[in-house]
Amino acid sequence: MRTVSYAFGVLVGLILQLAVTHQRTNGEYCHGWKNAQSTLREGFHCPDLHDQREAVICCGTCELRYCCPLTKARLDQGNCYNHEHVLHPGTSNDEKTPSTNACLMRGTFLVFYFLTCKKNL
């Protein structure tokens, strides 16, 4: 019985560590937008391919977004209205993919639930 409890604790710890690490390494998401020429630009996660690891903040202007390491330079994307009709990669108007954190929380709950049920049988 202790082995199951220990294994469960290790599993939960690894899942939580993965969630925290995933958040830290991916940084913010710069939403897609239309530039001054009305060209649709695809959104991206910070840091982008050509950025330093520390550039995890979406910065710039509503018409030109980039990744930077400065919190003071963060772009408040909620004030930008040139991205309302730009879809994120892999989504459509009808479907939205669940976030990684939501999936991790559901998975942790299911593991806990099944281990608890097995223990009570």
SS (H, E, C) 17-81: HHHHHHHHHHCCEECCEECCCCCEECCEECCCCCCCCCCCEEEECCCCEEEECCHHHECCHHHCC
When divided into structural domains, the chain yields a total of 1
Considering only residues 3 and 76, tell me which one the structure prediction assigns the higher pLDDT.
76
107 pLDDT higher than 50:
yes
Q: Which residue has the tokens 């940084």?
A: 27
Cβ atoms of 77 and 94 closer than 8 Å: no
93 pLDDT higher than 90:
no
Residue 8 lies in a domain: no
Residue 27 lies in a domain: yes
* Residue 118 banded pLDDT, cuts 50, 70, 90: low
> pTM value?
0.49
Segment 30-85, tens digit of pLDDT = 999 998 888 899 999 999 888 999 999 999 999 999 999 999 999 999 999 886 55
State what percent of residues in the chain have pLDDT above 90: 36
Residue 3 lies in a domain: no
The domain of 39 spans 19-95
Rounded to whole angstroms, how far apart are CA atoms 115 and 121?
Answer: 10
